[in-house]
Structure 1
Amino acid sequence: MKIVCVGGGPGGLYFAISAKRRDAGHDITVIERDPPGATYGWGVVYWDNLLDMLFRNDADSARRLRAASRLWEQQQIRLRGQTAWLSGYGFSMGRGTMLDILTQRALDLDIDVQHRRSVEDLSDFADADLIVAADGAGSRVRQQYADDFGTQVDLGRNRYIWLGTDKVFDSFVFAFEDTPEGWMWFHAYPSSAGISTCIVECSPQTWEAHGFDHRDAEDGLQLLEKIFAGHLEGHSFISAARGEPARWLRFMQVRNTTWYHDNVALIGDAAHTTHFTIGSGTRLAMIDAVGLAQSLYNHEDLPTALQEYDRVHRTELRPTQAAARTSMAWFENVDRYTDQNATGLAYAMAARQGQHPPWVYQHHIATQIPVLRRAQHAIDSARRRYLAVRRGEVPFIGAERSAALSR
């Protein structure tokens, strides 16, 4: 089968890898408009469930991705000089590093990866059996057939800006600051050596009151550094990615009533978006990639394969989309919860999607006590090591630095 994948992000590259692994006879080309290594944003975050899938699907690239990742343990919620804790752990890595690893893996499998090439018209690919649109939330491919896909695009209310910082956070940190103009907050996590990802968010009223609608990039960055100075501890925000300063955005919520039309299939953000506060965008794009590759393997007939991909994976995504919409709504109304202490805010955040039995609150209160938090950390670490052994992961014990737990 001759396949053209438009978009060389994690979803597009991983689809090409997954399809080629299942059938080396596929002739696959990945087309990316940007140069090698160029990327929007700073880091990606993921959990064990993605690692389990990656190791099952392609252990070679999975080991490289895991080796390039950072472990973060626990979440900190900071409010009015107080810190509360949520248990758990996750992994993060630089988005550019992820793209480099996946690009090299694709090349190793004889996939044609073409950079610096824009796709304006699909007529250039009239000889392709399948065209995969992996070109993001603003997908030009999807826009050409928006009515056929049943595309609906809605914008979130809050403003956010995706920054880097040379302050290295060991934990996943949510920091809330009450300014005279209203609440502002960020969530941050380590993404690569010496760099953390930091997404700053606020209501549109606060954004306008601070004058971000007319401040230039440097002036706006200095104001943010002043607001969050206590958390940056003398470090700076980094705005430029791809040589351009970061811009304030509104979250683009993309939905489609079908993920395929004729021989064109959507994956990743081109098919759906999920709010960044649940950290699932890259994971879901890679799940789409594997799902589409497996459907092509299961069915020789392309229409049948695309029908299966659309039916199964759109259905599976619905709970995640609902959770993402609920999370976005919670943060768009965060000032309803900031009149309590950090422990109360942390629980409200953890329970924002509901379905928590009453004992979860008691567990949350207990793990604010350092000795009990260390016990929970030991349980989480044992579970992490068990899962790593089960999926055949090379242990990284000793290479990872645990978050400080003596607070």
Structure 2
Amino acid sequence: MKVACVGGGPAGLYLSILLKRQDPSHRITVYERDPEGSTYGWGVTYWRGLLDRLHAHDPESARAVEDASVSWSEGVAHVRDLTTRHRGDQGFGIGRHRLLEILAARARSLGVGLEYDHAVTAGNVPHADLLVAADGIHSPLRTRDAGHFGTATATGRNRYLWLGTTKVFDAFTFAFVETGHGWIWCYGYPYSPERSTVVVECAPATWTGLGLDRRGEDDGPGEDGGLALLEKLFAPVLDGRPLIGRSSDDGSARWLAFRTLTNRTWHHGNVVLLGDAAHTTHYSIGAGTTLALEDSIALAGALRAHPALPQALAAYGSERRSALLPAQSAARHSAQWYENLPRYIHLPPDRMFALLGQRHSPLLPYVPPQLYYRLDRAAGRLDALRRLKGWLGPRIARTAQTRTLAGRR
């Protein structure tokens, strides 16, 4: 089978590895619009479960990824001048650039063709038995037939900014700072022995009130996203280390509003969607790379199990859309938790941090925070109460959604 994979990110590269391992006779080419080594971004996160799956499907690349990663097992939250620290599951961070190096080298070693600096548009689609659209949220292949795929996007309210820093955090770190224009906060995690990722987020009123929306002005934050101001606001957690703009040639940092993308179907003819071309989930759950790699595992498995391409692509789409439902729900509630931060921020830091860990719950928005905290603590000791909490959450969420839809009619 001749396979053209458009997009040289983790999903496309890992799919090419899996397909070559399944059948070395496959003729696979990965097309990436950017030059090799010019990837943007800082570090990505993942958890032990993904690493176990990588070891099961390609031990060689999994060992290389694990060796290049750093890990942590604690979370720490700074609220004003108070700090709380909790133990948690083991998390991992790896530089996006390093992850792509590992996957590209493994793909090449298996005989995959890698074509960098080769943009594929709707007008120059390569000929292949299978066309894999792994070219991100703005995928030209998907956009060409957006009506068929049923593509839809929803834009979040808050503004966010991806940055790097030479401060190496020893835990997954949250910092919440109160300003005269509202709260601004960051999440930080290490991805190498020398650097960490920092994601800054705030409500629109804070973003404009602090002047972070102004660009290109001599006295404003400019295209650097207001790094000097952010360094000042987060100086205690950064230990005075600098923030670094986008990891790219121009070094700029751009504020964004997160776009959640969904598709009604994931294939059309011989074109199939993979990773961010198929779906996006809010960055606050740290699952984007994991879900993309799991897409690759599922697609390779479907192609192995179903010799006929239409059946394979249909099985893949059905499996992954179903598997994504919990992550999409968690991402939606996580984003809403941050959008409603004033509801939780005035709790004692240990309680606020506990509810931060519960932000994926569909029940939390409908229960007073102090009461939810007490229920959650009790549920940890009483099986019956925990089951009741799990039963109530989805029902309350469905009722609220029904009322919202009825109000729109």
User: Which TM bucket (shorter chain)?
Assistant: 0.7 to 0.9
Matched, 1:223 2:239: no
1:152 counterpart residue number: 152
Letter in 2 for 1:305: A
2:104 counterpart residue number: 103
Letter in 2 for 1:84: T
Letter in 1 for 2:295: D
Superposition deviation, residue 32 in structure 1 = 0.5
Higher relative contact order (CA 8 A, sep 6+): 1
Superposition deviation, residue 286 in structure 1 = 0.2
1:394 counterpart residue number: none
Matched, 1:114 2:115: yes
Letter in 1 for 2:125: D
Following superposition of structure 1 onto structure 2, how do residues 3-152 of structure 1 map, counting pairs within 5 Å? 3-88=3-88, 89-121=90-122, 123-125=124-126, 127-152=127-152
Give the Cα–Cα distance (whole angstroms) in 2 for the partners of residues 82 and 136 of structure 1. 39
Superposition deviation, residue 341 in structure 1 = 1.9
Q: Secondary structure at the match of 1:157?
A: strand
Q: Residues 170-201 of structure 1, C-alpha deviation per residue, up to 9 Å, x if partnerless?
A: 10001000011110000000012311000000
Cα 1:363–1:191 change in 2 (3 A) is farther
Contact kept? 1:23, 1:297, Cα under 8 Å: no
Following superposition of structure 1 onto structure 2, how do residues 187-198 of structure 1 map, counting pairs within 5 Å? 187-198=187-198
Give the Cα–Cα distance (whole angstroms) in 2 for the partners of residues 124 and 341 of structure 1. 56
Letter in 2 for 1:252: R
Give the Cα–Cα distance (whole angstroms) in 2 for the partners of residues 293 and 39 of structure 1. 25
Superposition deviation, residue 231 in structure 1 = 1.0
Give the Cα–Cα distance (whole angstroms) in 2 for the partners of residues 363 and 319 of structure 1. 21
Letter in 2 for 1:345: M
Matched, 1:263 2:270: yes
Superposition deviation, residue 240 in structure 1 = 3.4
Matched, 1:338 2:345: yes
2:369 counterpart residue number: none
Match of 1:316 among 323, 334, 341: 323
Matched, 1:176 2:183: no
Contact kept? 2:231, 2:240, Cα under 8 Å: no
CA RMSD of aligned residues (A): 1.8
Match of 1:234 among 236, 240, 252: 240
Give the Cα–Cα distance (whole angstroms) in 2 for the partners of residues 96 and 361 of structure 1. 41
2:377 counterpart residue number: 361
Q: TM-score, normalised by structure 1?
A: 0.86
Letter in 1 for 2:296: A
Superposition deviation, residue 92 in structure 1 = 0.5
Contact kept? 1:6, 1:133, Cα under 8 Å: yes
Give the Cα–Cα distance (whole angstroms) in 1 for the partners of residues 377 and 81 of structure 2. 22
Contact kept? 1:275, 1:324, Cα under 8 Å: yes
Q: Secondary structure at the match of 2:8?
A: coil
Give the Cα–Cα distance (whole angstroms) in 1 for the partners of residues 65 and 304 of structure 2. 25
Contact kept? 1:79, 1:341, Cα under 8 Å: no
2:261 counterpart residue number: 254
Match of 1:280 among 275, 281, 287: 287
Contact kept? 2:224, 2:254, Cα under 8 Å: no
Give the Cα–Cα distance (whole angstroms) in 1 for the partners of residues 241 and 87 of structure 2. 26
Give the Cα–Cα distance (whole angstroms) in 2 for the partners of residues 86 and 278 of structure 1. 17
Contact kept? 1:292, 1:306, Cα under 8 Å: yes
1:296 counterpart residue number: 303
Listed as ranges, the gaps of 5+ residues in structure 2 are: 215-220, 364-371, 381-409
Give the Cα–Cα distance (whole angstroms) in 1 for the partners of residues 84 and 355 of structure 2. 12
Matched, 1:208 2:235: no
Q: Secondary structure at the match of 1:192?
A: coil
Q: Residues 34-57 of structure 1, C-alpha deviation per residue, up to 9 Å, x if partnerless?
A: 122222210011101101110000
Q: Residues 23-82 of structure 1, C-alpha deviation per residue, up to 9 Å, x if partnerless?
A: 111100000111222222100111011011100000000000000000112110110211
Letter in 2 for 1:317: L
Greater shift, 251-260 or 338-347, is seen at 338-347
Give the Cα–Cα distance (whole angstroms) in 1 for the partners of residues 377 and 174 of structure 2. 19
Match of 2:332 among 325, 328, 333: 325
Superposition deviation, residue 122 in structure 1 = 5.5
Letter in 2 for 1:18: L
Superposition deviation, residue 362 in structure 1 = 6.5
* Runs of 4+ displaced beyond 3 Å: 355-360
Superposition deviation, residue 142 in structure 1 = 1.0
Q: Secondary structure at the match of 2:78?
A: strand
